[in-house]
Structure 1
Amino acid sequence: MNRAFCKRIGVTVIAAASAMIVSIAPAAAITDIKIAGNGGTFTFHDDGDVFEVCDTNADGAAVLGRLYYKPIGGDWYVTEEEEDGGDGGCDKMPHDVNGVGDYQMKLYWLGTGYPGLLQATSRVFNE
C-alpha cells in the first residue's frame, strides 16, 4: 500500500474513535435537589451526599424530612429522617446515595392537629 493511503486510513480511524468517545457521555450526575413546603425546606446536596432540613416558619411547629429508598425489585421504605424546629440553623443528615435503587425525599409539617402533614415530594432520583 502506498504511504499516503495508509496515512488517510489512520486519520479516518482516529477520527471515528474520537467521535465514539465524545458520543459516549458519562451517566448524568444528579445535582442538588430542593423541595419546599409551608414552613420548611428539604435539600439534597450531591457534593458530600448530605440532606438538610430547615424550619423556615416561626409557627412553633417543626418540619420533618424523610428519605425514602426503593431497592431494585423491592418496596419503598424510610431509610433516614431528620426533624428541624425550635432552634437556630438547619439540621443535616449524611446519607450515601448509591446507584443501586431509587430515592425520594418528602417534607412533612408537624403542626398541632396535623402531625405529619405532607408538604412536598421530590422526583425519584439516584446516582
Structure 2
Amino acid sequence: MSISLGRRLGITAIAATSAVIFSATPALAHTNITIGTDQGRMTFIDDGDVFEVCDTKADGAGVVGKLWFNSYIGGDWYVEASGDDGGDDGCDKFAHNVEDTGEFQMRLYWTGPGYDKEIARSRTFNE
C-alpha cells in the first residue's frame, strides 16, 4: 500500500503544527508546584493562589522567590510579585492571582554575598 507524496506531506505538516501549538501552551496549574534546592524552595499553592518561600539552609543568606509574567499579547517577561525568607523561623508567603491572561513562571534566587543567584525555575503555568 503506497501513500502519495502529497498526502505524506500533509500529514507531516499537521503533525508539526500540532507539536508547535501544544509545546508553546503553558501548563494549567490546577495543582501545587514546588521548585528548589538544598538552599531553599518556593511553592505555588493553587487553592487560594498563594506562594510560599522557604530558606532551608542556615548559611547566613536567604532566598527570594519571584513570580514572573509574560502576556499573551506579547512583550518581555517581568516580575509580577515576590517574597523572601531568611533569618527567621518558618516560611514567608505572598498571594497573587494567577489568571489565564499569559504565562507565569516561578524563579528562586539565593541571596548570597554580593548578588542574587538563580537556583531554580519552574515550568510556565496559568489558570
- Measured against the shorter chain, the TM-score band is 0.7 to 0.9
Tell me the TM-score normalized by structure 1. 0.75
Report what 2:97 is aligned to.
96
Report the identity percentage. Answer: 56
* SS class of match (1:89): coil
In 1, the alpha carbon distance for the partners of 2:59 and 2:65 equals 17
Segments of 5+ residues of structure 1 without an aligned counterpart are 1-27
In 2, the alpha carbon distance for the partners of 1:38 and 1:77 equals 26
What are the Cα deviations for residues 42-86 of structure 1, in whole angstroms up to 9, with x where unaligned?
000000000000000011100000000011122210010111000
* SS class of match (2:87): coil
Number of positions where the alignment pairs a residue of Structure 1 with one of Structure 2: 100
Report what 2:121 is aligned to.
121
Shift of 1:29: 5.2
Report what 1:42 is aligned to.
42
In 1, the alpha carbon distance for the partners of 2:112 and 2:37 equals 13
Check 1:112–1:66 CA distance in 2 against 1; reply closer, same or farther (3 A cut).
same
Report what 2:64 is aligned to.
64
* SS class of match (2:42): strand
Q: Is the 8 A contact 1:61 1:112 kept in 2?
A: yes
Segments of 5+ residues of structure 2 without an aligned counterpart are 1-27
- The structure with more radius of gyration: 1
* SS class of match (1:65): strand
What are the Cα deviations for residues 86-113 of structure 1, in whole angstroms up to 9, with x where unaligned?
0001000000000110000000000114
- Structure 1 segments, 4+ long, off by >6 Å, are none
Report what 2:86 is aligned to.
85
In 2, the alpha carbon distance for the partners of 1:38 and 1:102 equals 27
Check 1:29–1:79 CA distance in 2 against 1; reply closer, same or farther (3 A cut).
closer
> What value does the CA root-mean-square deviation take over the aligned residues?
1.5
Tell me the TM-score normalized by structure 2. 0.75
